[in-house]
A and B are shown apart, each in its own frame.
Chain A
Amino acid sequence: MPAVKAPKASSSARAASQPYAMPLSPPASSGSSSGSMHLLENLSQPAQTMYNKMINSMPEGHIYTQSELTELVGISDPLRLMGLIQENMNMGLVKMLHQGDDLCYQAIKKEDAEKIQSMTKDEAMVYSYIESSGTEGIWTKTIKAKTNLHQSVVQRCLKGLESKRYIKNIKSVKYPTRKIYMLASLQPSIDVTGGPWFTDSELDTEFISSLLSIVFRYIMSESFPTEEDRRRLPPPASKKTNGKPTKNKKREDIVYDQVSYPANYRFYPSITQIHEFIRTSGITTVELAQSDIKALLDVLVYDGKIETIDHGMTYRAILGATVDDETSVQASEFDSIWSYGPFL
């Protein structure tokens, strides 16, 4: 999408103050949707040539500065050039935009220009604002504010445009009650749809929880020594009963079931590692960025399942945490505290 700013009202008297100005002299066949050639036919020959050159020589959507246009058509006289541009603009085939301080021009496809011509003035204005909002979409209230039209007028235009399938209504994630409109052909931006966690503007909790458990299992497997590690350790020293009486005879014998990595173990998984794991495992088709993984890891930390080592460089699972949030045997221990209704 070329970096165009919304066409501002030009301060000079010349040229259009509105992007899709109606032709200054209405052609005889305005209002009827005849073929696209029809528009071109109304142009003079040089104007037609210029238009065709603009369409064909550069990729679609290219913005021409005045100097580029001069080069293109080979007409160095600015007045004449202006005239040709004006003709095209009258037909809606060329659009004028601001790029910084300069004025520049963009060729419009014939079909699009046709569309605009067939719309009413208001509809055209509304359409232009919707188009300018790109993949962000625009709110009805904003349209109303910018066009200064009455609410009912705006509504009518929107309905008309929607029925012609030029625009569509999408649901925003941030503001679920707002009606956001954008061009029918475009895909809503990430901002609006909320990113990988949202499906149909709704938080996909199952997807998230399955991802969470996968990530947790992975971290868990990297956090503690595995079976093989344990088995390679030498056999236990036989308990020596020496002559010295031990101080605490009745202390229970310790169950030697601890296996941990030492304090300076450096190989707990980091974000990049986890990201790599998720990516290569092919669990999901949705592309996940590292920031998404970080969000998942934060949630796991807040669940009390993992903890960060080195202030966030790496992650480690907390001993005793389980994948599911099943309540442990201890859970019912303190039920009595809470069974006396809301506190006090």
Chain B
Amino acid sequence: MPQYEEELVVLLLRDIYGDIAAAVVDTLLKYGRLTIQLISRYSKLPISTIQRVLVPLVQNRFVLYWVDDKAGGDNATYVAWTRNIYNIVRSGVFVSFVLDRFPDTAGAPDIVKNLLLYGHFRVSDYLTPQLPSQAAASKSAAALLLQHKLLTTLRSHEFHPESDLYMRIFKRRLAAIPRSKAVSEAKREVQAHAEATEEFTVLKRIHDDVNDGLVAATNGSSNSIKRGHSLTDTSPSKTVDDSAVLALNHDKFVVLMRAQILVQLVSKRIGTVTAAVYRQVLDCMEPRLFRCVDNTDKAINVTSLEILRNLDPDLDLGRAVTEGSNKKRSRSSSSRASKRQKRDHGTDNSASESDESIEGNNISDHHFNEEDVDDEDDEDHIYDSAADNSRIEQLNLHLSMLSCNHNLPFIKRVGNKGGGEWTIDFDTLTARVRELEYDKLITQKQGAIACRLLRIIRDKGRIDEKQLARIALLPPKDIRAQLTALHEIGCLDLQEVPRGTDRAPSRTYYLWFHKPKSAYALMTQAVAKTMVRCYERIIEERARGRRPTIMTKLLREDVRRDEANMLTPAEREELRRVRGTEERFTAHMAKLDKLVLIFRDM
């Protein structure tokens, strides 16, 4: 039921682009693909208005158009692209992301904000109205963002709906395969489909090229795009192609958000130092990751040396891992022997009490006694070459901690060259992240018992109530209420297995099971519905604060510039309250958007 997503989308448009835009998109969503005349007929708006309003919509690629060659005339049909309109919600996060990542690049946030406003622009158009100093800064900022693929170039085909593009390619391919008696129609079509899919995939990945939108600066010609594969080529000799058209790359944004979520998870599950290491791993992989759901078979490997090279040199890797005293190891020094006794009367503290800054001595298993002294010295000389060895061992220790957990395989070791080759299996990892997130939601709504039951059912496949009660060590009466509640929210489903030929309820087995995809889909819809309500509330608060006079007063330029003096204390208070509410709701929407990202986009 994309119903709530569509509602949200229309709401967003109404707020930002106005009622007419919202009405047009609403019509398009209701009826599908329409020509302008039809839009006018269904929405009861005059054609000229629609034409005017379609301009920003097409510019932002909220509405895609298609001109059918055969139909003749320029009867263009329009389709609304919900996903892209939804991305408006993410605009704030996008800007703050850019600010975080490139704090020194002056022109970067401006570029992003302008792109959010205009949808896309040509580089030359952007640079011309600026002062020369600004222009230089903008140029380098654009080059940087392009290299990181947060921006991409737009080609003309990206204004068309994907299905039409595919059909065109397919028809062309079909025509190219000669008819012959030997090959049947069906076979021709199959082959055409295969070729078309291939070509289409290449077309979609056209931005994956490293030098997309960039040209060599020394060389003046704008069309020399080298097919280079070196990823470390961030030399200043590359600059933006003036004739390129830029747009925001939301796919890459999702990749970066995913990295952030994973790092947060590591930080929670293992620790902060390992999380820093993991972030570095993801950063090393990032240039080769273009979108989250990537169907290529190539796995991306990173070597330990590469990670080590890019790791923040101030990061003290040794401070987090300890062997711990234990009875099986021989101790050379007395301090450790006494340590062993102290540990035996184990303390009851949970790991969350480890708040003081802790010193770490990290020693790998078999090097224990010999390297002991060396490591102590090496801690102080991090840049010694001898120390480098132990640092890579420390790094490998953290990486192996990330890979040892079978329930949450953050990373996987695949080889030995370069100090150790590692890869990340994103599919399993994100599936697991989704499970954890969903568990968290269910716990918040239904309670811990329900979550226990869900996990058991997930583990066992299909299971009946009695078995469930036995495994969960809970009385059957209590369980039943929880199960029905979970059933109502779409988390669980029932399978009937009749015992006899009749379907009497007393003579059938009822097995509970959990289907992740449908459960998540149902939940995402609820999230969309919540976002709709949230946003409506924001609009309401903004439009009709308690005192409309404040809002109109704020529209004045002089007031806006100098709020501190131009407003009375009461007005300021009122303003603070209204702004605070708006902020709260916007922050809430961002959290909900994160959920959508995890379940739909990741």
Contact = CB atoms under 8 A, between A and B. Distances in A.
Contact of B339 (A232, A247, A258): A232
Given A232-B361, A236-B379, A343-B522, 13 more contacts: A202-B475, A228-B325, A237-B379, A255-B357, A257-B355, A258-B319, A258-B354, A259-B351, A260-B320, A262-B323, A262-B397, A335-B444, A337-B526
A264 interface: yes
Contacts of B274: 258, 260
Contacts of B383: 240, 242
Nearest to A323: B350
A67 interface: no
A307 interface: yes
B385 interface: no
B321 A261 contact: yes
Contacts of B382: 237, 240
Nearest to B319: A256
A83 to B, nearest CB: 54
A235 interface: yes
Contact of B530 (A229, A246, A337): A337
Interface in A216-269: 217-218, 220-240, 242, 244, 246-251, 254-265, 267
Contacts of A235: 359
Contact of A302 (B323, B354, B456, B525): B456
B346 A258 contact: no
A209 to B, nearest CB: 9
10 contacts: A205-B474, A218-B346, A220-B348, A231-B359, A236-B357, A244-B313, A260-B274, A295-B471, A302-B452, A303-B448
Contact of B351 (A197, A224, A330): A224
B347 interface: yes
Interface stretch (B42-50, B400-408, B420-428): B400-408
B320 A344 contact: no
A257 B358 contact: yes
B530 A259 contact: no
B530 A336 contact: yes
B360 A259 contact: yes
Interface in B76-107: 100, 103
Interface stretch (B113-121, B162-170, B197-205, B264-272): B264-272
List the 6 shortest-distance A-B pairs measured between CB atoms, nearest first: A258-B271, A325-B448, A263-B404, A263-B400, A233-B359, A233-B361
A227 B359 CA distance: 11
B444 A331 contact: yes
Q: How large is the interface on A (under 10, 10 to 19, 20 to 34, 35 or more residues)?
A: 35 or more
Contacts of B348: 217, 220-221
A228 to B, nearest CB: 4
Contact of A205 (B356, B475, B489, B588): B475
Contact of B273 (A254, A261, A336): A254
Given A203-B473, A257-B355, A227 B347 contact: yes
Nearest to B357: A256
Given A229-B324, A233-B361, A327-B444, A340 B533 contact: yes
B261 to A, nearest CB: 14
A251 B339 CA distance: 36
Interface string B341-385: 011001111111011111111101100000000001001101100
Contacts of A335: 444
A333 interface: yes
B334 to A, nearest CB: 12
Interface in B523-554: 523, 525-527, 529-530, 533-534
A218 B455 CA distance: 23
Interface of A: 197, 202-203, 205, 208, 217-218, 220-240, 242, 244, 246-251, 254-265, 267, 295-296, 298-299, 301-304, 307-309, 311, 317-320, 322-323, 325, 327, 330-338, 340, 342-344
B346 A203 contact: no
Contacts of B456: 302
A300 to B, nearest CB: 10
A248 B523 CA distance: 38
B302 to A, nearest CB: 17
B490 interface: yes
Given A259-B354, A344-B522, A208 B473 contact: yes
A225 B316 contact: no
Contact of A320 (B269, B365, B407, B592): B269
Nearest to A209: B473
B557 interface: no
Nearest to B267: A258
Contacts of B529: 340, 344
A267 B326 contact: yes
A296 B404 CA distance: 24
> A interface, by DSSP: helix, strand, loop or mixed?
loop
Contact of A256 (B316, B523, B595): B316
A233 B351 contact: no
Contacts of B471: 295, 298-299, 302
B55 interface: no
B328 interface: yes
B447 interface: yes
B325 A234 contact: no
Given A217-B348, A236-B357, A325-B447, A299 B592 contact: no
B527 A337 contact: yes
B380 A237 contact: yes
B313 A256 contact: no
A234 B361 contact: yes
A232 B313 contact: no
A317 B407 CA distance: 13
Contact of A226 (B276, B313, B343, B405): B343
Contacts of B186: none
B444 A262 contact: no
B558 interface: no
B371 to A, nearest CB: 13
A262 B522 contact: no
B270 A319 contact: yes
B451 interface: yes
Contacts of B455: 301-304
- Interface-centre pick from A205, A249, A309, A319 (highest chain B CB count, 10 A): A319
A202 B469 CA distance: 12
Interface string B392-404: 0000010011011
B335 interface: yes
A261 B339 CA distance: 16
Contacts of A334: 441, 444, 591-592, 595
Contact of B525 (A220, A221, A308, A343): A343
A34 B41 CA distance: 108
B577 interface: no
B312 interface: yes
Contacts of B475: 202-203, 205
B69 interface: no
Contacts of B328: 267
Contacts of A225: 322, 324
Contact of A234 (B1, B103, B359, B592): B359
B320 A259 contact: yes
A259 B343 contact: no
B488 interface: yes
Interface in B266-306: 268-274, 276
Contacts of B325: 228-229
Contacts of B320: 256, 258-260
A333 B437 CA distance: 13
Given A263-B403, A337-B527, A230 B354 contact: yes
B439 interface: yes
B339 A233 contact: no
Contacts of B447: 325
A240 B314 contact: yes
B321 A320 contact: no
Contacts of A262: 321, 323, 362, 364-365, 397, 400-401
Interface in B424-464: 439-441, 443-445, 447-448, 451-452, 455-456, 459
Nearest to A301: B455
